[in-house]
Amino acid sequence: MTTSLSDFQSLGLGEKLRRALRDVGYTEPTPIQTQAIPHLLQDRDLLGVAQTGTGKTAAFALPLLQRLDEENSLAKPRRPRALILAPTRELALQIHEELERFGKYTELRQAFIFGGVSANPQIKALRQGLDVVVATPGRLLDLAGQRHIDLSEVEVLVLDEADRLLDMGFIRDVKRIVAQTPNSRQSLLFSATMPHAVAALAREILDDPVRVDVSPKQVTVKEIDQRFVMVGTSDKQRMLEHLLRDDEVSRAIVFTRTKHGANKVAKKLGNAGIGAEAIHGNKSQGARQRALKNFKNGDSWVLVATDIAARGIDIDAVSHVINYELPHEPESYVHRIGRTARAGATGAAWSLVDPSERSRLRAVERLIRFSPSEIEVNLPPRDPAEAPRVNPPRRRSRPRASTNQRANASALPRAGSRRR
């Protein structure tokens, strides 16, 4: 046995889980795992200040699975023993997939419950008996109202991305759900930020929690090469296309403030020969999964997303985050740019700033205590005849800029270059 595996062992994790960890290639625990797992195995409540990318899913999933597995009891119809609440379907699905991977050597039964897809398979799974349910609040309450699920035997409750749950207006739903679980439960709350409303919720549902803070805010922000371009709104699309053609951009997420904006930008990128997918809350679950899959496997190399749709999505090797507009809340800027520079990689974040967005830029600077540097880019001429088009990408490749475009692109910042 290697030293690294014994690290997970020294945290108290048993053989079945360590075997699964070996299969997925986790050799060492991340800081949040090291700090949280031993306490969770002792049934403590936990307040985790951590965002996606820190390894928080495994931090709560591993001890949870171990506890349920050790109890060695049969899954009861409609009465799960663990409930994980997540704000979005994508996050719920991702958590479910991780649980399946970690739990593969156990007999535990698990499923997700969320809207946008037929409830029937979910109802059927509940009837057959589940140990763990990962759910978004709306569908869960619907099914609870119809008595398809009974939360009175929940032993472990996890609220993931609590700040986002509250942002999305789920506070009352969350409280109604919590009220249906027994007081004796173990409770965990994870949040990337800790505004008053989240702190108040944590006080309400957690009992003498251990606090683990691995907020990578400062570190992440420093590691990312951040720049902004002043550009009028009417020129943003052209600027975006120009920036995307920079040789260094291998995979990018473009953030827009609205769903409509995401569609529009993605469509225009497609027209310009840049393989892009839009992802936002108005898309069906199937369409969102397809868009993510295409992006993950390289069939498209630009994902145009709204904040909520992109939260919690785990995609490796995103070289650039581009803010088509700055977000209303400066905290969202930090979440957005955290999509790049994951797992220790460096990345770049560029923002297209209309003069009317200056105050937003200042709000971001105050929050991150850092000023992204301004870059000046000479936009290529408007006439399409003068700006050679790039052919649509074939499978798994992104279009390379032509020599002419590279000359233009040389005006762009190098992702790895020093800040001013």
Q: Where along the sequence are the contacts to ligand AMP (CB under 6 A)?
A: 26, 28-30, 33, 52-58, 314
Q: Which is nearer to ligand AMP, 21 or 126 (CB)?
A: 21
Q: Which is nearer to ligand AMP, 56 or 96 (CB)?
A: 56
Query: Is residue 264 within 8 Å of 332, Cβ to Cβ?
Result: no
Q: Which is nearer to ligand AMP, 200 or 343 (CB)?
A: 343
Strands (E), 100-206: 110-113, 132-135, 156-159, 186-191
CB of 283: closest distance to ligand AMP in angstroms? 22
Query: Is residue 226 within 8 Å of 369, Cβ to Cβ?
Result: no
**What are the backbone angles phi and psi of residue 243, rounded to the nearest 5°?**
-65, -40
CB of 33: closest distance to ligand AMP in angstroms? 6
CB of 95: closest distance to ligand AMP in angstroms? 8
CB of 360: closest distance to ligand AMP in angstroms? 27
With left for phi above 0 and alpha for psi between -120 and 50, is residue 375 left, alpha or beta? Answer: beta
CB of 55: closest distance to ligand AMP in angstroms? 3
Decide: helix, strand or coil at residue 177. helix
Q: Which is nearer to ligand AMP, 50 or 154 (CB)?
A: 50
CB of 309: closest distance to ligand AMP in angstroms? 16
Q: Which is nearer to ligand AMP, 317 or 407 (CB)?
A: 317
- Helices 31-41, 56-71: axis angle to 10 degrees equals 30
Q: Which is nearer to ligand AMP, 38 or 270 (CB)?
A: 38
Identity of the residue numbered 129: G
Residue with tokens 């006080």, as numbered in its chain: 203
Token pair recorded at residue 349: 């974040």
Decide: helix, strand or coil at residue 12. coil
Q: Which is nearer to ligand AMP, 30 or 186 (CB)?
A: 30
Contacts of 54 (CB under 8 A, 6+ apart): 30, 31, 32, 214, 216
CB of 320: closest distance to ligand AMP in angstroms? 19
Helix (H) / strand (E) element for 276: namely strand 276-279
Least Cα distance to 113 among 99, 98, 97, 125 occurs for 125
CB of 139: closest distance to ligand AMP in angstroms? 22
Strands (E), 294-385: 302-305, 320-323, 347-353, 373-374
Q: Which is nearer to ligand AMP, 32 or 352 (CB)?
A: 32
Q: Which is nearer to ligand AMP, 59 or 130 (CB)?
A: 59
CB of 30: closest distance to ligand AMP in angstroms? 5
Residue with tokens 């199937």, as numbered in its chain: 286
| H runs (alpha helix) in 72-170 | 89-102, 120-128, 137-145, 162-167
Token pair recorded at residue 347: 């990345």
Token pair recorded at residue 317: 């090797």
